[in-house]
Structure 1
Amino acid sequence: MGARGLEGKVALVTGGSRGIGRAIAERFSRDGATVAVAYARDETAAYEVVERIRKNGGQAFALRAELGRHGDAASLWAAFDAQIGEHAPDGSVDIIVNNAGIGRSSDLASLTEEQFDEVFAVNVRAPFFIVQEGLKRLRDGGRIINISSGAARLAMPEIIAYGATKGALDTFTLNLAKELGPRGITANSVAPGVIDTDVNASWLRGNPEAEAHAASLSALGRVGQPEDVADIVAFLASDDARWVTGRVIDATGGSCL
């Protein structure tokens, strides 16, 4: 087990069944938190994460939360409420990580209204209402961590709507920090670059040329791993980050400097 700075804490991680979300859930567990692993469709993957955490001595439970439709936040928290009593009798949460998101986006010429609405519904509207619904459960001194993207600060016309959603998420983070500061709640964004996850597998893995190009974007000369992001999130969730709020933490490995 790693350093245990989150003992007695409860964390909700959306998109927690794979990739960055899975790495965050597992890191939180190693640090002592009980983790609610929220997933959209892949039940098998979510329960694999939960079982792995439990086998390593941690506490976790899975809950289904398909985002992108009206009422999704209420459904997520209803699923949370139905299970949290086994772990935290008061039904509270200490850490909310809005990690779930979709990258489906096109350039300006080909993006449809339906695609635009979908990416904004999952990447912006869902986190907004997850936080709104969750505030009554979030303890004073809690943490809100939104997973943004380096695409919010770089011109990437080929994924124009996706980048716009992450810019909106960063603005949401800034306003949360101001509004919730009196309760001792911090709100920060973490902005990864290219990370070796299933989402990028189709073009990255097994393609030496693509991997070399992705690595060349980083000042550190390699492709990022989910754990690289999870460790930053774990810091922001800890008491060590109590004086950091309203910030976008670059997690791109120094990409495009």
Structure 2
Amino acid sequence: MPAGSTDNAHPRIAVVTGGSRGLGRNTVINLARRGIDSIFTYRSNRTEADRVVAEVAEARRKAVALQLDTGDATSFDAFAERLRQALAELGAEHFDYLVNNAGTSHHNAIDQTTEEELDTLYRIHFKGVFLLTQKLLPLINDGGRIVNLSTGLTRIIVPGSAAYGSMKAAVEVLTRYMAKELGPRRIAVNVVAPGAIATDFSGGMVRDNPDLNRRVSEATALGRAGVPDDIGPMIAALLSDDNRWVNAQRIEVSGGMSI
């Protein structure tokens, strides 16, 4: 099969980074419910990754878990080769959807943020997204789709989030460039910006801190903090053919936070 062509004989396949927990996990599960197999990455927790594989199997779909540190670009060549092997296990040579979800949180004032903290955010949230996508472009089918994850913090200014929000803002600009440059291959590229979500992200602060959860709820038009099931189904729907004409967009999924 020539690179970039769509082979309808095989089920659609998604590659999701950071798929063992939180929003990535929810995305993998919701893709499975839509009949889409996944190859997802995890950084260190193989036990949680295996649980996701089992849950996908319950939905009568397939998932393959591959270890990857998206902040280590030197590992991307080896990962691409492992991905080729995983695709072969699923009976395919290429995949259809890429979800750049993996990330870490950061909370520190501008005058307290260290160079090391800034470099770490850059490696994971921008350099990793840029170079991993670049590395995987030969394996994405023409007519496929890419979704990058951003944050409501590129619009909603919360002190202590400058470094994190700025890296995600760079991803939003990168998304539009990707959409333009990959347009000739009919690959649509969008960015999803979740609001405050009750997961284990940021140490579970939105989920486990009642005062913060209350303040988020009060600032949100729909009156509550988000949950993973508000995000995963939306990403799965965005990747579907129903949204084939949505391209180069920042889509905030926040329940109307700080409007």
TM-score bracket, normalised by the shorter chain, equals over 0.9
Tell me the residue number matched to 2:255: 253
Per-residue Cα deviation, 1:14-59 (whole angstroms, up to 9, x for no partner): 0000110000000011111110121111111111100111122111
Per-residue Cα deviation, 1:202-225 (whole angstroms, up to 9, x for no partner): 433343322211111211001101
1:83 and 2:86 are equivalent in the alignment: yes
In 2, Cα distance between the equivalents of 1:13 and 1:75? 17
1:211 and 2:213 are equivalent in the alignment: yes
Tell me the residue number matched to 2:6: none
User: Aligned in 2, Cα 1:165/1:206: closer, same or farther, shift over 3 Å?
Assistant: closer
Structure 2 stretches of 5 or more lacking a match?
1-9
In 2, Cα distance between the equivalents of 1:9 and 1:71? 28
User: Aligned in 2, Cα 1:205/1:243: closer, same or farther, shift over 3 Å?
Assistant: closer
Tell me the residue number matched to 2:199: 197
User: What is the one-letter code of the residue matched to 1:104?
Assistant: H
Tell me the residue number matched to 2:60: 57
Structure 1 stretches of 5 or more lacking a match?
1-6
Consecutive aligned runs of 4 or more in structure 1 exceeding 6 Å deviation: none
Identity of aligned residues (%): 35
Secondary structure of 1:71's counterpart equals: helix
In 2, Cα distance between the equivalents of 1:184 and 1:235? 18
User: Aligned in 2, Cα 1:182/1:85: closer, same or farther, shift over 3 Å?
Assistant: same
Tell me the residue number matched to 2:161: 159
1:103 and 2:141 are equivalent in the alignment: no
TM-score by length of 2: 0.93
1:48 and 2:54 are equivalent in the alignment: no
Q: Does the 8 Å CA contact 2:196/2:206 hold for their aligned counterparts?
A: no
Q: Which moved more, 1:61-70 or 1:141-150?
A: 61-70
Q: Does the 8 Å CA contact 2:104/2:201 hold for their aligned counterparts?
A: no
In 1, Cα distance between the equivalents of 2:202 and 2:244? 33
Tell me the residue number matched to 2:224: 222
Q: Does the 8 Å CA contact 1:98/1:147 hold for their aligned counterparts?
A: yes
Report the CA distance between 1:79 and its aligned residue: 2.1
RMSD (Å) for aligned C-alpha atoms? 1.4
TM-score by length of 1: 0.93
User: Aligned in 2, Cα 1:113/1:58: closer, same or farther, shift over 3 Å?
Assistant: same
Per-residue Cα deviation, 1:63-105 (whole angstroms, up to 9, x for no partner): 001121232332332221122101133x201000000011124
Secondary structure of 1:37's counterpart equals: strand
Number of aligned positions between the proteins: 250
